[in-house]
Structure 1
Amino acid sequence: MGNIPNYLYIFGGLLILVGVSISTVTFVQFYRKKRSIQITARKVYHYLGGILLLLPLFICVYFIPVAFYDENFWNAISVRYDDIKQSMMFFSFSLLGFYLLTASTSFFPHYNKYYNEIPPLLILSLFPGVANSMLVMIITNFINSDTDVKYLLFFFALCTYVYIITVRLSKRKAAYIGTLVAGDLNVLVLRNIFDFSYIKFEKIKSSKIYTILNDDLGILIGFSKDLIRIYTSVVMALIVLAYLFSLNLLSSLLLVLITGLILGFHYLVSNNYVKALHYAKEQREHYMDLVMGLASGFKELVLHGVKRSEYHTDLEGGSADYYNADLKTTNININKILFSDLSFIIAIGATCLMFPLIFNFSKELVTSYVIATLFLWSPFNTIINAVPQISQVQVSWKRISDFLHHTAAEDLVEEPLTLTASNINTVNHIMMKDVSFNYKPDIKNEDITYGIGPINFEADKGEIVFIIGGNGSGKTTFLKILIGLYKSDKGQILINGQKINYRFLGEYFSVIYSDFYLFKKIYGIKYERLEQVYEWLDTLGLADKVKIEHGSFSTLDLSQGQRKRLAILKSYLEDRPIYFFDECAADLDPDFKEFFYYELLPKMRDEGKVLISITHDEKYFDVANRCYKMEMGKMKELSKLEKV
């Protein structure tokens, strides 16, 4: 008890030091314009309310010397008591000053939202661990001393109060931070996906994107929410261990040594667990590939019983492989946890039963030691169980990092160019000059097998250009190069005589692919064209089926031909200077095919658009101003006689 004033001065000084440091950093950041000033009634209310929440702690400080020294402590005249009184007053003012300094930083929010949330959460999360640890000391004091029970009950109630309040606040704040992390990680992954070049995106399996966004991000988000619970358990474990050391140094050292050995064992066997996790993730991706194949290719599978049966067998095999791999990781984890539990039980048995026999510990000491050690069980288990969680986080983070690294330097824009509405909307001439492209092999040193070029192509404002050719002649590859999905190996693409970086080419085009996807929301439209939309819906025979409400189609539950007509309307609303239709009329019935070639294309040509269409409809070749033929990766312009 004689060292209590010293401890109080030390703790009080630390509180003041930490409080002053936090407030100093805050004001330096404010001076450097990294923080703003924001004083609201809500913040003032919370600031003053925090002082009221501290009131029970000050009452506790008042009653501690009354309970453990003298019921007349504060009225007694004693030099020894005066020193303790001064130290307790210093500690109380230090605690109040710490709160006032740290809480005042909420009026100066950082522009980085995590700076505003994480430091207060770390401070707040100390209290549940401290409160829980105090319960151990209160219970052992009740058993081993003659302190008045009413004071112990008061301290017990106070610790419970602090624990409940701070756990609730810290868990709510941790959940909020988890939500922030979830949103930011999703945005980070999606932003990087949009930075991929299309040719790289083609090589990424849809199942990988799904498992990263759904599984790997979920693991990181879940861990971010559990991190505070682990942090609180570490605080509690350290305080209880400090209390154990105060009871008996040797047995506590043994307990720490065994705990260290257990954590070391976890680290050594974590490699097997990580390998099993990686394998389970790979099997899940394979299984998800099969599930997506079922969804995408159901009309092919449903036709033939043999095909259905074989695919069903593959699905069952993929499912079994994934769940067996997942079971293997679970079993490895179970073995690790059982070993930890057994080791800790042996440690408790040794320190609580063997050491008292060897060193003649008193019953009071044994009782205190057993209670404190049993209290240590819960935080210890939390820490041990966090080890496999950390392994899962490592695996998931590596998968996400590897995925994000697909965005290589070569994908970035090489030639900065400022595109304005005026130079995008005005295209007088587009030219492809000596352009070549070869598909790159996935395996190094593998020979290049196919490509197109050199290609020379041009089209002028107010022209309709047809691209014809057989399957495999290179028409689709030509489309992808012209609109910037692929980067050419040689040659250049010029618009109005200016070379355009391939990453910007798409800004000039509105494209309907042969395998188009129709979004329900209409993105990137020119709203001034909406005045004509219902006229066009009527013309396209869709007025009684679809409406445009709040910038979205009312339904997409349409036939393939009707969806194609809707895609044509969406393309028209985009109002880009160049239109590229990839076999756009293939799914249209004869009446609408006539409308497409004889009314829509000429109308858009008269508006000054450049219209390029891949087609096999020889009947309508006379509509085109130019006609190019693709054959074996080469392109040539057909004469009028050749068109006929």
Structure 2
Amino acid sequence: MRSASEIILVRVSSEVSRDIRKRFYERIAHAPLVDLERIGSAKLIGSINIDVPRIVSGGTVLPALLISSITLLGMLSFLMYLNVEVFKLVIMAIFIGAICYQIPMMIGGRIFHRSREAHDELQHSIRGLIYGIKELKLDVKKRAAYFDKNLHAQELKILKHDKLANTVVRTTMSFGDLICFFVIGAVSFVFINYHAISKQELVGVIMALLYVTGPVAIMLATVPTVTIASISYKKLNQLLQSIPSERCNSELVDLPPWETLKFSNIEYQYPSYNDEPGFKVGPLNFEICKRQVSFIIGGNGSGKSTMSKLLTMHYTATAGKLLFGKTLVTSENIVSCRSLVGAIYSDYHLFDEFLIDLSDELRLKAEKYLEMLQLSHKVKIQDGRFTTIDLSDGQKKRLALLVSLLEDKEFYLFDEWAADQDPEFKDIFYKEILLNMKKSGKAVVVISHDSAYFDVADQI
């Protein structure tokens, strides 16, 4: 029976862990992009990898805590039956012990909380190590400084907090054990001098108190795990509360045919930070038409990336109107409008699998594009995924372009796609691919600094 209960507990905890992570994934997927950018990937990944396992670990000890609590209540009832005065003494000891126990446990909990906060900083530094490894490898002093000021310093902070918190908690647990034996000693050598109690009752009381030490020890042993789980639960809950859900209809609705995408007095204001007003873009007034290629140009910090996120409806304008043809983009149809868009951003992500149904016709198109983009000797398509994406930056972008073209959207945005391409592929992109997309009725927006190809644009 014990093995069966342990197996059931492990299986249930695995299911709970999966369900928590699934809800977290859904929350991220339905959150506004601006809020995800504000929170940062380090906190999100840290919460999934740290808080969820700790919460589940806390849940796995709850059955033992519950059983021990019931056992303790049963033995206290038995003590009251044996001798009311001994029962009162034990209750008084529990009350005093609980007060003395709670104070250091609160201190330990706060230290564990500081340790958890330090984990977020460490996750951010680990991300910097992974994505900045090329720069760090170039300069030994720079790498040493990064390790000392970030990774080692944060690891030391976590180690310091964990050591101190565990010392406080374990010392407090030992104090709890001492109280149990103190009560047994007090009953055996002091209590009997002031209260009448038979030998039979005394033996029963001592046996009951000795038996109680087991459940009490189990309860005390679970406290650190439950405390850490409680901190992680609060951390996860705070994070989830800071991630709002997009207030929009998640169902796809039919949209009427459109020819133009129109910005009418569109403005976007970033949230203020440290009492400083956020960056503002707009008002913007222009039209993007099907069967046209439009270029967006501008210097760094001019708002091109913000405009790209407004065009693809990841950012919701703080003022103005966005129209697909005569259809006003609202919370009721924004998901459907987004489904018309294909984009390759400057910080794009290349998935190693096709997330669309790859029919025989699409497979033939994909192989044709692989030949055109000179990737067929490196990449094959097997079982709906690429055989490799371990490619150069330029080759990855070409592969991302292939995927985007196969999706066959009505409106495309390319943010600096050709920035790291060889002249040969720039020619293919600007003079072949864009023109073919234009002929096939697509609306295309290109963010570019390639002035040599501005003649390709119908409007700039």
Q: Same fold (TM over 0.5)?
A: yes
2:367 aligned with 1:565, yes or no? Answer: no
Match for residue 448 of structure 1 among 251, 269, 277: 277
- Partner residue of 1:523? 355
In structure 2, how many angstroms separate the alpha carbons of the residues matched to 1:438 and 1:532?
A: 42
The 1:591–1:232 alpha-carbon spacing in structure 2 relative to 1, beyond 3 Å, is same
- Higher-Rg structure is 1
1:534/1:476 CA distance change after superposition, 3 Å: same
| SS of 1:202 mapped into structure 2 | helix
In the other structure, the counterpart of 2:415 is 582
Tell me if structure 2 keeps the 8 A contact 1:352–1:369: no
1:384 matches 2:220: yes
**Alpha-carbon distance in 2 for matches of 1:508, 1:241:** 69
| 2:304 maps to which of 475, 487, 507 | 475
Q: Is the 8 A contact 2:292 2:458 kept in 1?
A: yes
**C-alpha spacing 1:436/1:408, structure 2 compared with 1 (3 Å):** same
Q: Counterparts in 2 of 1:183-194, with a 5 A limit?
A: 183-194=18-29
Asked if the contact 1:195–1:407 (Cα under 8 Å) also holds between the matched residues in 2, the reply is no
What is the rounded CA distance, in whole Å, between the counterparts of 2:28 and 2:189 in structure 1? 60
| Contact residue 585 and residue 596 of structure 1 kept, 8 A | yes
Is the 1:526–1:573 contact (alpha carbons within 8 Å) kept by the matching residues of 2? no
DSSP-derived class of the 2:17 partner: helix
Deviations 1:613-638 (A, max 9, x none): 111112222222222xxxxxxxxxxx
Q: Distance in 1 between matches of 2:164 and 2:239?
A: 25
CA drift at 1:199: 0.7
Give matches, 1:417-566, under 5 Å: 419-420=252-253, 423=255, 426-443=257-274, 446-448=275-277, 450-501=279-330, 503-504=334-335, 505-524=337-356, 527=359, 528-566=361-399
The question of whether the paired residues in 2 share the 8 Å contact of 1:466 and 1:613 is answered with: yes
Q: Shift of residue 525 of structure 1? A: 5.8
CA 1:266–1:522: 2 relative to 1, 3 Å: farther
**Deviation (angstroms), 1:407:** 3.4
TM-score (norm 2): 0.93
Task: Determine helix, strand or coil for the equivalent of 1:309.
Answer: helix
Q: Distance in 1 between matches of 2:236 and 2:286?
A: 41
Deviation at 1:417, TM superposition (A): 8.5
Q: Is contact 2:342-2:407 (8 Å) kept?
A: yes
Task: Answer yes or no: is 1:592 the counterpart of 2:428.
Answer: no
Counterpart CA distance in 2 for 1:237 and 1:170 is: 21
How far off its partner does 1:276 sit? Answer: 1.4
Deviation per CA, 1:110-132: give whole Å up to 9, x if none.
xxxxxxxxxxxxxxxxxxxxxxx
| Map of 1:76 onto structure 2 | none
In the alignment, which residue of structure 1 is the partner of 2:66? 231
Contact conserved, 1:526 with 1:575, CA < 8 A, in 2? no
TM-score by length of 1: 0.67
Higher relative contact order (CA 8 A, sep 6+): 2
Distance 1:449-1:241 versus aligned 2 partners, 3 A rule: closer
- Which deviates more, 480-489 or 503-512? 503-512
| Aligned 8 A contact 2:343 2:412 in 1 | yes
Q: Deviations over 1:248-286 (max 9, x none)?
A: 222133123212322233334443223212211111111
**2:302, 2:393 → 1: CA distance?**
26
> What is residue 93 of structure 1 aligned with on the other side?
none
> Which string of whole-angstrom CA distances, capped at 9 and with x for unpartnered residues, describes residues 585-629 of structure 1?
1121121211111111112222211111111112222222222xx
Matched residue, 1:57: none
Counterpart of 1:247 in structure 2: which amino acid? L
Q: Deviations over 1:394-424 (max 9, x none)?
A: 3222211111112347x412xx58634x638
218-227 or 500-509, larger mean C-alpha shift: 500-509
- 2:208 maps to which residue? 372
SS where residue 486 of structure 1 aligns?
A: coil
Superposition deviation, residue 173 in structure 1: 2.4
C-alpha change, 1:350 and 1:418, in structure 2 (3 Å) is closer
In the alignment, what sits opposite 1:272? 107
| Greater mean alpha carbon deviation, residues 387-396 or residues 334-343 | 387-396
Contact 2:365 2:406 in 1 (8 A): no
Distance 1:352 1:191 in 2: 60
2-structure distance, mates of 1:569, 1:423: 26
Counterpart of 2:97? 262
Paired residue secondary structure (1:448): coil
**Cα distance per residue 1:208-249 (max 9 Å; x no partner):** 112211221112101211111111111222222333333322
Q: Relative to 1, partners in 2 of residues 1:195 and 1:419: Cα closer, same or farther, differing over 3 Å?
A: closer
2:154 pairs with 314, 318, 322, which one?
318
CA distance in structure 2 between the aligned counterparts of 1:515 and 1:557, rounded to whole angstroms: 17
SS at 2:300 equivalent: coil
- Structure 2 letter corresponding to 1:515: D
The size of the alignment, in residue pairs, is: 455
What amino acid maps onto 1:537 in structure 2? L
SS of the aligned residue for 1:379 comes to helix
SS in 1 for 2:418: coil
The aligned residue for residue 351 of structure 1 is: 187
Structure 2: state its 5+ residue gaps. Answer: none
**Matches of 1:557 and 1:408, distance apart in 2:** 35
Tell me the residue number matched to 2:449: 616
SS in structure 1 at match of 2:12: helix
Secondary structure class of the residue paired with 1:348: helix
Q: Give the root-mean-square deviation of aligned CA atoms.
A: 2.1
| 1:619-630 equivalent positions in 2, closer than 5 A | 619-627=452-460
- Structure-1 separation of matches of 2:402 and 2:141: 41
Residue number in structure 2 paired with 1:134:
none
- The equivalent of 1:288 in structure 2 is 123
- 8 A Cα contact 2:261 2:287, kept in partner: yes
Report whether the alignment pairs 1:307 with 2:142: yes
Separation of aligned partners in 1, 2:243 and 2:42: 18
1:544 Cα offset (Å): 2.0
Residues 267 and 281, structure 2, Cα contact 8 Å, conserved in 1: yes
